[in-house]
């Protein structure tokens, strides 16, 4: 009898462990995601708009990036993914301009390269001179990149980010906004998966995103 009780106890702990790390297939509002009190307009037509708010220096954003990129590929034409480099402080501006300059030059193939340079190679890319030197190492035309980096178009996009952060109430990264209505993130999902490793939280976030995308018929 005691052996049976011990086996049942072990099995129970196993189920608890699985439930703690399993991806939430039926996410609950206020638990795995939040609904904006004021939905924001989208411009993606019938496709679902997905905004990822990120910061190049954020290690969690770096960890989430390959998961997000793979997820977006699987979604195909159902979504339009837009990455938004946040500007919580004025010192974030150079990296914001870095992203928008790459976007304007159709060189977002370097997006992950920038992440890896910071988090794997321990490079500092916080200032304009540091960014310019890095771009030269990537065989990017410095004159063209510099002009784009300092352009009115890029400056306008940086200013627009402040409005988006306020509208979506972004206070941490990475955070994903779905269809102008819902917010989720590894940290939000983590509230119901306490103690789960980061890989599990990232995977769970994608599962929540699947469910939120499916809400738009």
In a domain, 137, yes or no: yes
In a domain, 63, yes or no: yes
In a domain, 190, yes or no: yes
Q: Are 168 and 40 in contact (CB under 8 A)?
A: yes
Q: Give the percent of the chain with pLDDT over 90.
A: 84
- Domain containing 41 equals 27-210
- Taking only the tens place, the pLDDT of each residue in 20-38 is 444 467 899 999 999 999 9
Peptide bond into 117 cis (omega under 30): no
- Taking only the tens place, the pLDDT of each residue in 153-181 is 999 999 999 999 999 999 999 999 999 99
Q: How many other CB atoms sit within 10 Å of the CB of residue 107?
A: 16
In a domain, 46, yes or no: yes
DSSP per residue, 45-92: TTSEEEEEEE-TT-HHHHHHHHHHHHHHHHHGGGEEEEEEE--SSGGG
In a domain, 6, yes or no: no
In a domain, 100, yes or no: yes
In a domain, 10, yes or no: no
- Taking only the tens place, the pLDDT of each residue in 91-141 is 999 999 999 999 999 999 999 999 999 999 999 999 999 999 999 999 999
β partners of residue 35: 182
Residue 51's CATH number: 3.40.30.10
Q: What is the pTM of this model?
A: 0.88
Edge-to-edge order in the sheet of strand 79-85: 34-35, 182-184, 175-178, 48-54, 79-85
Is a pLDDT exceeding 50 seen at residue 13?
A: no
Domains: count for the chain: 1
pLDDT mean across residues, the chain? 90
């Amino acid at each position: 009898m005691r052996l049976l009780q011990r086996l049942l106890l072990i099995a129970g702990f196993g189920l608890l462990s699985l439930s703690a790390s399993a991806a939430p297939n039926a996410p609950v509002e206020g638990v795995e995601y939040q609904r904006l009190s004021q939905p924001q307009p989208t411009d993606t037509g019938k496709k679902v708009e997905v905004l990822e708010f990120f910061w190049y220096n954020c290690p969690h954003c770096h960890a989430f990036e390959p998961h997000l990129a793979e997820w977006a590929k699987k979604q195909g034409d159902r979504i339009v993914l837009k990455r938004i480099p946040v500007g919580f402080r004025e010192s974030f501006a150079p990296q914001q301009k870095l992203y928008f300059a790459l976007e304007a030059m159709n060189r977002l193939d370097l997006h992950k390269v920038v992440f890896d340079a910071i988090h794997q190679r321990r490079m500092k890319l916080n200032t304009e001179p540091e960014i310019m030197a890095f771009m030269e190492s990537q065989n990017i035309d410095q004159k063209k990149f510099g002009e784009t980096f300092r352009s009115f178009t890029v400056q306008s996009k940086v200013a627009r980010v402040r409005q988006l952060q306020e509208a979506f109430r972004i206070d941490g990264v990475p955070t994903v906004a779905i269809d102008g209505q819902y917010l989720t993130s590894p940290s939000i999902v983590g509230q119901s998966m306490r103690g789960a490793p980061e890989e599990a939280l990232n995977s769970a976030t994608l599962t929540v995103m699947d469910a939120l995308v499916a809400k738009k018929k």
